[in-house]
Chain A
């Protein structure tokens, strides 16, 4: 039943394959070491010239890359350089150099390379801000072999290139991972064009709306219209819960509210619904944070209620917010001494001993 010859053959074949691969890899190792050495030598030989070029924009003829290792050496050198310095304009020496010497190779790599080569190429196109690649990128998006990772990266690159049909492009795409979407939006939206996005806010898909609020908070964008939008999101009962949380978070970060009573109105509306369920804990936490950011005395009684909430995070946030008030320490002292709830007394005690800087 057991065919010994077959097993012998299998073992023999396996062994031969292993040896062949082994010989190939040893050979490859020698070759790689040689290339690595040449790369280092080439770079050290031209380092002075490259540095001088980066400052003056002149005399790059001596280090124009021809071989693959020379491209790699330059890419890595520029990449390390750009970890410390920012590209300032299209006239930057790195951009000029990349546009003239990398672009032809990159066009080819996008068409022919395998997945990781194409990804690397896209990273460098982004890093060197090579706007001349715009049409190649758009073309690559339409190719069948363009993976989701590549398309996200292309959106990210195009967002920095002021591509005018960008919104149409995104709308036609699948939903992006939120982290990547925020990266893209962060490049698109700034103080100058934010009003345009405000006008179409309610037409945007929900995940865009959430991202938009994140960007407003992160970039600290302020205007009357933004304030109106944020406040309307709080008072509108049909606002998505996640979106409301972000609106609260954004307001507390901007630290401004047209009328302090507004938040109390929101709570009144909410209390008719699900306000006292565990699911509302995050919203309550954000309300507590917002109150600590606005610091209006009318909030104290409500914070004193929140400090005995069933959720630990709400209690912490309430204690922290009270601590931020002018007489916060005294208030916490009173709570620690006489509040009927043990948890409230404990958390007040903890925050009394601590500065507001502590998270």
Chain B
């Protein structure tokens, strides 16, 4: 009996040490990314908000853009979203573009509303371009607006978001396309901002460009545009705002600088049409189609030696709506984790494969061991902490070390992100809003992070057990009033 206990003690010490070393390593890693982000932001901070974009707005040589808006049961927000695209604000709109709304077999009145509001008329005998390998579900009809000649509507049989995007790509006639969620709220200069790196770069081909996505919850939105920025009082939303900041500062910024960015948000991204067609479009059978496409573009880029790059714009480019209750947040996170897994699994060949350069040896392993499996280690960290506190004496030191590291990792890094964002943008007008964010970030480690960890571990187990029914659609309120 004593032997068993002795064995358990030594084993438990090893577990504790492993978790502590992992936590230290990850804290250091994040701090390095933090500093990388800081150095880039420092340079760009203070750049004028309008003048840099004027030449693009006024030029006939700014490449035209196809904007694809997949819509499935979006009757609440679709009119506002489309209006914000086609009417614009005048001062910083994109010079030439077309908008393609793809109705993915909605069972509500999305189709009728769009047809009615924009006077859509069917294009007779429309021949759809048969592009390399992008097969989609049957397209019933293509419409064109009588009010806005650059607005098109595709009505197709339901096939999921990826399938809808592919159908839109088949209709797109411009060299770049933007994919946008039905509930994405754009700013007048969103397109100019996200296209700038593409336009002003000739040394390297640009496959895609993504940007900083912020959360719109709490703000006042009129006709699909933010009228007043306000911070939501819902703690779940505030935590997500902090999470987005953190992901942006410590993930996207640092990685993108080395062309290692593997995620462009499905809420808003621009892609080179010909290259996406070349790789076969979006994959319809995965839940993480946005990440999967970026990973595949990277993979093809390296396999076929295109020498191209994927860019990330540090300026905020758009807003999106976050879940406001635990149930929908859980659904979203389990879906994300599953999407992450699928992208990694489909491209498992790239893991530690030196053929794929630093994508294979750095970016993919990061997503495997920190993003995907990290929650498992964190989860064991919580378990070890509880056992350690119960057992007491020898383990007390370990438990305390764990607590401190978790606070640094969970709360301090988040508080740092809030501060860095304030330093860079100063977006929240009121001091009270900054205070709220800063102090709620301090509580992250005590409730939000354990919950997230738990859900992700659940997702992990359901993946292992091969269950795949746990994602649904996020219920939308419709952000546009």
Contact = CB atoms under 8 A, between A and B. Distances in A.
A347 B127 contact: yes
A349 B125 contact: yes
Given A29-B426, A179-B61, A353-B124, A4 B397 contact: yes
Contacts of B62: 179
Contact of A183 (B55, B408, B416): B55
Interface in A52-102: 79, 83
A349 B125 CA distance: 7
B202 A7 contact: no
B52 A123 contact: yes
Instruction: Tell me the dominant secondary structure on chain A's binding face.
Output: helix
A178 interface: yes
Interface string B414-425: 011001001100
Contact of A26 (B127, B405, B434): B434
B426 A120 contact: no
Given A18-B419, A32-B426, A178-B202, A7 B401 contact: yes
Interface string A1-24: 110100110110011001001100
Contact of B59 (A10, A119, A123, A182): A182
Given A1-B17, A25-B434, A116-B43, A182 B401 contact: no
Contact of A116 (B44, B61, B201, B423): B44
B438 interface: yes
B126 A350 contact: yes
A18 B200 contact: no
Contacts of B47: 116, 119-120
Contacts of A350: 123-127
B419 A120 contact: no
A21 B419 contact: yes
A115 B43 contact: yes
Contacts of B124: 350, 353-354
A246 to B, nearest CB: 12
Nearest to B27: A10
Contacts of A117: 46
A22 B316 CA distance: 22
Interface in B236-254: none
Interface string A348-359: 011011100001
A177 B401 contact: no
Given A2-B20, A14-B408, A346-B127, A127 B419 contact: no
Contact of A359 (B125, B173, B398, B422): B173
Contacts of B50: 79
Given A18-B412, A183-B55, A2 B129 contact: no
A29 B419 contact: no
A25 B419 contact: yes
Task: Kindly state the interface size class of chain A when it binds its partner.
Answer: 35 or more
Given A179-B61, A179-B199, A7 B52 contact: no
A221 to B, nearest CB: 14
B202 A29 contact: no
B407 interface: yes
Contact of A15 (B126, B400, B412): B412
Nearest to A122: B51
A248 B54 CA distance: 30
Contacts of B4: none
Given A116-B46, A177-B200, A18 B55 contact: no
A26 B431 contact: yes
A326 to B, nearest CB: 23
A218 B423 contact: no
A15 B411 CA distance: 10
A15 B407 CA distance: 10
A269 B401 CA distance: 79
Contact of B51 (A10, A14, A123, A349): A123
23 contacts: A4-B401, A11-B405, A11-B408, A11-B412, A14-B412, A25-B434, A26-B434, A29-B422, A30-B431, A83-B54, A83-B91, A115-B43, A120-B46, A123-B48, A156-B55, A175-B202, A180-B200, A312-B129, A312-B130, A346-B125, A350-B124, A353-B125, A354-B123
Given A11-B412, A33-B429, A354-B123, 7 more contacts: A2-B17, A11-B405, A175-B202, A178-B202, A179-B59, A179-B200, A179-B202
